[in-house]
Each structure stands twice: as structure tokens, then as C-alpha cells.
Structure 1
């Protein structure tokens, strides 16, 4: 997202805002209430405000809330928002991705809470053809919007996190999918073993959303050196999403969510 007009940036922000609210509201009537109000430029009816707000405030806060004067606290809240938007960017990109060498069978849902513990992203694929084994990629997603460090440092942090906590994330997934049947259920039961053994069916990825317009060509090298046990071609993946003024973009997504309140 470099060099886009303001209208096109707003269009992308709306796609994210709508997808986020559709997910958060589930089958509640809150989503059509929110969507109709946001598209019309009017606030939701007073009778609907409490319900709609309940799906918004835990991540985005309230538009008229008094802001703390603590600069450190404000920065923390901004970081949480940007990290949340980065996860959603990754999720929507993964939904659109298609490749001839694999077919997506499962894509994890984004976290409901900003600081929820566990994996940032998890994808299961099947190679083309019949009677083939499913394989997975465990992803860590970070935002990078600082002038004081390079993208490579963010990739290193994400890689270290996968190296240290990856097995715990997979254990949580195994438990969460204990009632999943079929080939997918069998894969979830094996996640820990596949990871420990660096099996060809296991793998990892790091996604970074950044406002660094010209990142280094080798910014994902820490992933290879940190998780060097995954040595087969394609076991490690990287995704770099470049967004000019990422902080402002994340704020625009929030403004669109708030527009119905």
C-alpha cells in the first residue's frame, strides 16, 4: 500500500473495518445495525447503541472516552491497535492467496482480544492430488512502525517467539480442536510431534506490517537462522505488508468502526 490515493486507502480501511465487525458480531443483529449506520453516516439508534458498543470497546475503546495524559500508556494502546490491524491484514491476505502447489484446508480466525495469548495465525494446506497428507504453517505476526529499528529486528523478535513458544501455541490448538474429525483432526493431534521433529509437514511463517517503504531484501534472514531445523524448501515463509503511515491507517480503521457510534 504505497502511493495509494486517499480514497483507495480508505477503501482498504473499510474492507478491514467491515470484516472485523462481521467477525466480532457473529450472528448477532449488532452487525447489520452497525453496517447500516456506518454506510449511512449516521449513528446507530439509541436502543441499539449498548449492544453494538459491546462488540467494539474491548479492542477499539469508545470514541469520546477521556484519554490518559500518560504518553507511555497512549503508546501502548496505539501499539495494541496496530498489532490488531496487522493480524487482520495477514488474515485477509491469506484468504485471498491461491497457489498451484497447495490448497488451503483451514485458516485460523483472528484473536477476539488484542492481548489474547496463543498463535497469531495458523494455516493447514493439502498438496494437489488425492491421498496426500495435510501440512501446516504456524505464523507470528508483528507490526513495525518505528524509526529506531530495522524490519530485520522485528523479524528476529517474531522468529524468537516462534522458537520459544511455538510448541505451546500448537498444544493450545491441539486442545481446541480435540473434537475435530477426519484428516484435519488427525493433523491437530500430531502438531506437537511434527514440530518437535521438524517434520516436512510442519513449518512456520513471520508476517510484518510496516511503514518502511524500502525494507531490506534480506529482512527475513533471521527466520532461517533461528528456525534452521525447518530446512526443507517452503517450510519457512515470510510476508511483508508495506503501508505508508501505518499508524494513521490503523487509526482510520478504528474511525470507521466508530463511525456508527
Structure 2
């Protein structure tokens, strides 16, 4: 009797195929794959305003294209003004060929701090966390009110805040928000990850703010921005309305009905309207998506 063969696993899409899907279907930004699913926009005292982005049924083609949109954006940011290196990485990645030495070693130095290298990868936790930070950044940075929101940090082991935004409130006044990013790609309760984020902001927020403020050097920003940022450290100590906190959560799990309901209790000083903000992203294939992002980063090395 002939033993039946196990069904073969579908081939993972190559970077070129994913790029073509994104381009030909005109789905070139993250919102094309993760539209806002819910927004609780009531900015009340001692209440977290939050939104969610949910993708529960991405096809393999859509998941691959989203991974390509993510890695292409990440690599543009990582190479910065070294656009010729970005162009080389992109060309070889899309043709499915390897970058020859010594260019390979140069380009690998931009990839290693966040992804590691094929023979020495960063941990899965680092991978999932870095993808989560980029999801938050790309889902929020194009808000018309945002004045400054730097790209996620360039080394996943770098201590400090996960992100911050300086934005204008509805009256046009500048406000500062410190963001903490968490991923939950295991089986533990989402509330555990959120409570860790609240505690981290409560325990380390003042230190994070001090490090951020120190990066605002005269000559790099206008007088209005420098005057504002100089007020932020003392405002954070007092919970002044100039500052606020945000928590972003990336997971494969279904989201609870009210995922940020304990945030006001954990950060009691931030009790003015608009000071608390949450962003939840649920992607059912999150782990596979993150691995594809990394595979595309490495494919030309």
C-alpha cells in the first residue's frame, strides 16, 4: 500500500512577487492592509482615547505585500542619506541575487542592529518588538497634527523610550506624548503586556523624557520647538497638560472590547483630557509576517 504524501507547504512569496502585488494593486502604504477598525475618540478626563487596526484574514499575497511595504520603508529609513546603498539593497533583493563583497558587508552593517544576520539572528522577541514599533509609527506618523515623530530607534537593544510624538492639539498648541510599545505573540493575557507598559512609563518615563529632550540641539529646530521642549521635563514631573502617554500593543490575539481601561489608574497624574492614548494592532499571522519581513531584509546577503 502506497503511503499518502503529506500536502506540501505553499512556497513563501519572493520579495519581487510581493513588491509587484503591492504596486499593481496600488496598496503601497500600511493603511491599505490595516485600516482603522475602531476609534474611541472621546478625549475625557482620566480616560484613554484609543483605536484599533485589525487584520484577521490576510491572504498569503497580502501578507507578503505588507511585509514588503514594511521592510522597504524600514530600509529606506535605516540607510538615511546613503541612498545608493538602499538602491543596491533593493535591486539585489528584488532580483533575488546576492550582493557581492565588499558591498555585502557594508549593507549588512545596516541590517544587523535590528535583525541580526542569517548566521546570527536577533531573538524572536526583538524581531516581533521591532515590527510592532514600526506598525505604530506608520499607522500614526501621517496624522496632520503630528509635527515631529522620529522613526523607531536603530538598535533593538538600545535602552530608552520606544517612541514619542510632538503634535498640535485641536487649538493648535504643542503637546508631547511619550509612547511605549509592547508585543504579545504568545498565549499570556494581553492585560499583562499592557500593565507592563503602564509600569514602564510610570517608573522610567521621567528618565526617557530627559534623554529625548537632550537630543533637541539648538540649530536643529526652530525657536518655538526648542522653547516648548525645554518645558517638557518639568511638565512630566507634574503631569501638566503639555504632556501625555501612549501605549501601543501588537498581537496575533483577538482584542478585548476595552483594552486600555486600566491605563488611567496606573498613570494617575495624567488625568487631563487627551493625555492618554492607546493603539492596538491585531494581525492573525503576526509571527509569520515578522519572519517574512526579516527574510526580505536578509535575502540579498
Whole-angstrom CA distance in 2 between matches of 1:145 and 1:190: 38
Whole-angstrom CA distance in 2 between matches of 1:66 and 1:159: 32
Superposed counterparts of 1:27-66, under 5 Å: 27-28=81-82, 29-63=84-118, 65=119
> Going by fraction, where is helix more abundant, 1 or 2?
1
Q: CA deviation at 1:45?
A: 3.1
Is the contact made by 2:213 and 2:230 (CA closer than 8 Å) also made in structure 1?
yes
Q: Does residue 92 of the first structure (1) align with residue 128 of the second (2)?
A: no
Is the contact made by 1:104 and 1:123 (CA closer than 8 Å) also made in structure 2?
yes
Whole-angstrom CA distance in 2 between matches of 1:217 and 1:223: 14
1:189 alignment partner, SS class:
helix
Q: CA deviation at 1:224?
A: 1.5
Q: Does residue 136 of the first structure (1) align with residue 176 of the second (2)?
A: yes
Superposed counterparts of 1:69-80, under 5 Å: 77-80=123-126
CA 1:162 to 1:66, structure 2 compared with 1: closer, same or farther past 3 Å? closer
Q: How well do the aligned residues superpose, as a CA RMSD in angstroms?
A: 1.7
Whole-angstrom CA distance in 2 between matches of 1:91 and 1:158: 17
**Aligned counterpart, 2:276:** 236
Q: Work out which of the residue numbers 151, 165, 173 in structure 1 matches 2:190.
A: 151
Is the contact made by 2:248 and 2:279 (CA closer than 8 Å) also made in structure 1?
yes
Compute the TM-score of the two structures, normalised by the length of structure 1. Answer: 0.88
Is the contact made by 1:140 and 1:162 (CA closer than 8 Å) also made in structure 2?
yes
Residues 177-230 of structure 1, C-alpha deviation per residue, up to 9 Å, x if partnerless?
132332211121111111112111210000000010x22112212311101221
Compute the TM-score of the two structures, normalised by the length of structure 2. Answer: 0.77
CA 1:198 to 1:211, structure 2 compared with 1: closer, same or farther past 3 Å? same
Q: Work out which of the residue numbers 253, 256, 264 in structure 2 matches 1:216.
A: 256
Superposed counterparts of 1:114-193, under 5 Å: 114-128=156-170, 132-147=172-187, 149-179=188-218, 180-193=221-234
Is the contact made by 2:202 and 2:267 (CA closer than 8 Å) also made in structure 1?
yes
Is the contact made by 1:173 and 1:188 (CA closer than 8 Å) also made in structure 2?
no
Q: Which runs of 5+ in 1 are unaligned?
A: 68-75
